[in-house]
Structure 1
Amino acid sequence: MSSVVETVTGVVTPILNELNFELVDVEFVKEGKNWFLRVFIDKPKGIDIEECALVSEKLSEIMDTLDPDPIPQAYFLEVSSPGAERPLKKEEDYQQAVGDYIHVSLYSQVEGEKQYDGFLDEVTKETLTMTIRIKTREKQITFERKNIAKARLAIQF
């Protein structure tokens, strides 16, 4: 499956560069009986449905001409915005999220928990530091980057 993601990333990147859009993520997943190729795109002021449709058309045209076909089974192509809870994948994503409210899922527990919500204070190559709220008090906590399974922007309630 990673070869599909790599191939699609290679095909869609020039399309996005031409349009000044950013590639956020590509995933190829099976849900039930169906396969889905999802391409998440964005730009500084957000992406709209017409822009998603444009990228979908251009990507679909190119994918249909590739030989050998990198995806021999039937699949649904979805091109969309990453939404308000955008995943943090690249180093640039983390740097841009400093000061923002985020959600972090960990591989192993830190202080008895595997999930944290809080404000991202600092990012280094090895660590990520957040300010979290425990009832009425705030606490700063640092995680090793290699222990982070997933991170995304979050909506604070």
Structure 2
Amino acid sequence: MSAAKGQDPAARGGDPAATRLAGWITPVVADAGYDLEELVVTPAGRRSVVRVVVDRDQGVSLDDVAEVSRAVSAVLDRNDGELGRAPYVLEVTSPGVDRPLTEPRHWRRNTGRLVAVAVGGDQLTGRVTAVDDSGVTLAVEKPGKPGAKKKAPTPRHVPWAQLGAGRVQVEFGRPGRDENGPADGDPGHGDVDDVLDDLGDDLDGDTDDDDLDEDLLDDDEGDDGGRQ
């Protein structure tokens, strides 16, 4: 789920807790040079999971995720009293390819990608070739008969007012993709599993591999029941 156009990333779900957290987290994320794309607070047993999704034009690397995690963790610690000492786990990540393209910046960051989008009553599949203030230019692929020679894509400029939410189409061997990892700006990168343990060590100086997964922001050593 992504925020609607012009809407607070926490407001769409109407969650008061997420809305309050967004007021603290959004300025911190912006100061670090990122956009807060989504903020979701999900109950998970006796804890809550605070999921923060960030993005920027240059893409989001694992080092970027760790940087934002530290900044967000610090601001949550400063407002710890207002959170009622409830235990929670912080997850910071970048958007996945399943994220709908709803904002101009989403389309701009996916220039060169194949997308499916509703335009008026038509469902189009095309490659994003340009994004400007007036709309998006797509190289539209026309469906052909099985076995027939594939036709060259047709350029089509779509004004913002006519453009529905786009969906990136997964391509194997997409041009511009590095064999050793995602291409620059690839919204599919940002999987933080490989850095969670190191991030937990950085936050509290503990080398316990399970520290972050158990409770990233709970500073009470030996706490067996979470915050009171």
TM range (shorter): 0.5 to 0.7
Task: Indicate how the Cα distance of structure 1 residues 31 and 127 shifts in structure 2: closer, same or farther if over 3 A, else same.
Answer: farther
Task: Indicate how the Cα distance of structure 1 residues 89 and 66 shifts in structure 2: closer, same or farther if over 3 A, else same.
Answer: farther
AA at the equivalent of 1:62:
V
Structure-to-structure mapping, 1:39-58, within 5 angstroms: 39-58=52-71
Corresponding residue for residue 117 of structure 1: 125
> For 1:12, what is the secondary structure of its paired residue?
helix
Identity over aligned residues, as a percent? Answer: 19
Does residue 23 (structure 1) correspond to residue 35 (structure 2)? The answer is: yes
> For 2:22, what is the secondary structure of its paired residue?
helix
Q: CA deviation at 1:26?
A: 1.2
Q: Select between 125-134 and 25-34 the one with higher mean Cα deviation.
A: 25-34
Mind listing any 5+ residue stretches in structure 2 that lack a counterpart? 1-12, 145-149, 173-228
CA distance in 1, matches of 2:38, 2:155: 33
Q: Do 1:28 and 1:35's aligned partners in 2 also have CA atoms closer than 8 Å?
A: no
Task: Indicate how the Cα distance of structure 1 residues 94 and 46 shifts in structure 2: closer, same or farther if over 3 A, else same.
Answer: closer
2:140 to 110, 132, 141: 132
CA distance in 1, matches of 2:166, 2:115: 6
Task: Indicate how the Cα distance of structure 1 residues 90 and 4 shifts in structure 2: closer, same or farther if over 3 A, else same.
Answer: farther
TM-score (normalised: structure 1): 0.60
Corresponding residue for residue 60 of structure 1: 73
Q: Do 2:127 and 2:140's aligned partners in 1 also have CA atoms closer than 8 Å?
A: yes
Structure 1 vs Structure 2 CA RMSD: 4.1
CA offsets per residue over residues 89-143 of structure 1, 9 Å max, x none?
A: 432333454x42242444x8733x4xx4321245567754422222422344547
Q: Select between 118-127 and 54-63 the one with higher mean Cα deviation.
A: 118-127
Task: Indicate how the Cα distance of structure 1 residues 48 and 94 shifts in structure 2: closer, same or farther if over 3 A, else same.
Answer: closer
AA at the equivalent of 1:130:
L
Corresponding residue for residue 23 of structure 2: 10
Structure with max Cα Rg: 2
> For 1:57, what is the secondary structure of its paired residue?
helix
> For 1:62, what is the secondary structure of its paired residue?
helix
1:156 to 149, 171, 176: 171
Q: CA deviation at 1:79?
A: 0.3
CA distance in 1, matches of 2:134, 2:18: 26
Q: Do 1:126 and 1:145's aligned partners in 2 also have CA atoms closer than 8 Å?
A: no
Q: Do 1:120 and 1:128's aligned partners in 2 also have CA atoms closer than 8 Å?
A: yes
Mind listing any 5+ residue stretches in structure 1 that lack a counterpart? none
AA at the equivalent of 1:91:
P
TM-score (normalised: structure 2): 0.46
CA distance in 2, matches of 1:9, 1:146: 30
> For 2:95, what is the secondary structure of its paired residue?
coil
Instruction: Count matched residues.
Output: 149
AA at the equivalent of 2:121:
V
> For 2:92, what is the secondary structure of its paired residue?
strand
